[in-house]
Amino acid sequence: MVVTSSVPPLRIGPIVVWPPIVLAPMSGVTNRTLRALYKPFGFGLTVTEFVSANALRYGNQRTTEMIDQHGVEQPVSTQLWGNDPAIMAHAAKVVRECGADIVDINFGCPAPKVTKTEGGSACLRDVDRCEAIMKAVVAAVDCPVTMKMRLGWTENEQVFVEVAKRAQAVGVQALTLHARTAKQFYKGSADWAKIAELKRAIDIPVIGNGDLGDPYDALRRMRESGVDAVMLGRATLGNPWLVSRLRALMEGREPEATPEAPDRLRFAMHHYRTMVDEWGEPRAVPQMRKHLGYYLKGFPGASALRERLMRTETAAETLAVLEATIAQLDSRTHELAVA
């Protein structure tokens, strides 16, 4: 493909986001370690895991860790979920004080533990409540407020344009649309025609999200839908090089090839060590199992290695297996040879 032109930055109020590539908020995944490690690949903006506005009232240790942005990457957006305007407004003030550059409201989560209390995507069943939450949060903080949503609760209740118009009217400064309904969870595919429809309907910046896994496809989707930025989630896990490739395209450069297996594993080891340093071994070891699975995705012959790594109990043991694997990698085929 011939690379021809660059794209402009995303502007969220006074914040200039370059490149216009956003790391999707992912609960249990986008902690500050991962965000700091992945941002240099080319994310212009990162978003925290969602934080319960209700839980913030009680200030437990895990929640406090999630919202502490001091000394971490900038700009960073802290995402909140909840169903009560006053509690959300209070939570917004707290996260702003803890270093958020942007406060993001979650109207997208379809998980029952969230929707059973009318939070996340369940808010979309009550457009007036959405508006009241957004209005209260915008009034509470001196930084930009954004919102992330799905198309609606079900196929027949697609309220995204209505909610977006209300968001714009109350001062929300950018929106992300994950173009599936809540009832779809992750089934089917994201409907990028709906993202284009949203972009045509409002003036504030729109960030398109859903199923972007290839840099050329992401740039094409961005151009065809007219969105101001793209948000990438699952496809970047274990493959942050996807983001550097997309960034290159946005800058009008030919993307470099994704590194070969040994270098990818070296980066996985760096991720592993950083997690252990920052979170301590007892918390890092179980958390990193899923990440090692992501790094091994698509490697020929990886399943035996993945199984082996699921059973390691200590960081030293895990790193030794990875080191031995790198040494064993066949330099011609880069196939994994697990003893």
Ligand X SMILES: Cc1cc2nc3c(=O)[nH]c(=O)nc-3n(C[C@H](O)[C@H](O)[C@H](O)COP(=O)(O)O)c2cc1C
**Helices first, then strands: H and E counts in the chain:** 14, 11
Q: How far apart are CA 21 and CA 230, in angstroms?
A: 5
Minimum CB–partner distance for residue 333 and ligand X (Å) = 30
Look at the alpha carbons of 110, 114, 120, 126 in this order and tell me if their dihedral is positive or negative. Answer: positive
Nearer to ligand X, 94 or 175 (CB): 175
State the catalytic residue, choosing from 109, 123, 130, 143. 109
Cβ-closest residue to ligand X? 233
Q: Which residues inside 174-193 make contact with ligand X, applying CB under 6 A?
A: 178
Q: How far apart are CA 211 and CA 190, in angstroms?
A: 6
Look at the alpha carbons of 154, 155, 156, 160 in this order and tell me if their dihedral is positive or negative. Answer: positive
Give the one residue of 85, 144, 152, 233 binding ligand X; rule: CB under 6 A.
233
Q: Which residues inside 93-132 make contact with ligand X, applying CB under 6 A?
A: 106, 108-109
Minimum CB–partner distance for residue 297 and ligand X (Å) = 14
Minimum CB–partner distance for residue 162 and ligand X (Å) = 19
Rule CB under 6 A: say whether 167 interacts with ligand X: no
Nearer to ligand X, 24 or 285 (CB): 24
Rule CB under 6 A: say whether 29 interacts with ligand X: yes
In the 8-state DSSP scheme, what is residue 331? T
Give the one residue of 54, 78, 79, 115 binding ligand X; rule: CB under 6 A.
79
Minimum CB–partner distance for residue 148 and ligand X (Å) = 5
Nearer to ligand X, 14 or 28 (CB): 28
The Cβ-side half-sphere exposure at 325, using a 13 Å CA radius, reads: 30
In the 8-state DSSP scheme, what is residue 99? T
Selected range binding ligand X among 163-171, 197-205, 229-237, 306-314, rule: CB under 6 A: 229-237
Nearer to ligand X, 198 or 232 (CB): 232
Q: Is 109 a catalytic residue?
A: yes
The three-state secondary structure class of 46 is strand
> Which residues make Cβ contacts (< 8 Å) with residue 41, sequence separation at least 6?
240, 241, 243, 244, 247
Q: How far apart are CA 149 and CA 181, in angstroms?
A: 9
Q: How many CB atoms lie within 10 A of CB 107?
A: 28
Q: Give the residues lining the site for ligand X (CB under 6 A).
A: 24-29, 49-50, 79, 106, 108-109, 148, 178, 209-212, 232-235
Q: Which sequence positions are flagged as catalytic?
A: 109
